[in-house]
Structure 1
Amino acid sequence: MPELPEVEVTKQDMNDMILGSENSPKSKTIAYALPYTKEFYSAKTNPKNNKRDFIAQILDYENRRKLLSDAQILSIERIAKFIIISTNIGLHIIVHLGMSATIYPIIATENDKELIASGRGLDFLSLLNTSTDRVFAKHHHTGFLLEDGRIFLFHDVRRFGEWAILNDQELADFKNSFISSWDPHLSDFDPKSLINFIQNHPIQSTKKWVNSKMNLLAFIGKSGAIKGCGAIYSREVIYESGIEPSTPICLLKNKDWTKIANAMRDVLSESIMDGGTAFNTKESDKADLVRARGDFVRPSGVLSRYQEKLKSYKKKH
Structure 2
Amino acid sequence: MPLPHAVNIVEVGPRDGLQNEPGNIDTNVKLELIGRLVDAGLRQVEATAFVSPRWVPQMADHTQVMAGLPNRPGVRFPVLTPNLKGFENAVAAGAREVAVFAAASEAFSRKNINCSIAESLERFEPVLAQAQEQGILVRGYLSCTLGCPYEGDIAPEAVARVARRLYDMGCCQISLGDTVGTGTPLKAQRMVETVAEQVPLADLAAHFHDTYGQALANLFAVLKLGISTVDCSVGGLGGCPYARGASGNVATEEVVYMLHGMGVETGVDLRALVDTAHWIHRQLDRPMQSRVARAMGE
Please report the TM-score for the alignment, with normalisation by the length of structure 1.
0.29
More helix by share: 2
Please report the TM-score for the alignment, with normalisation by the length of structure 2.
0.30
Structure number with larger C-alpha Rg? 1
More strand by share: 1
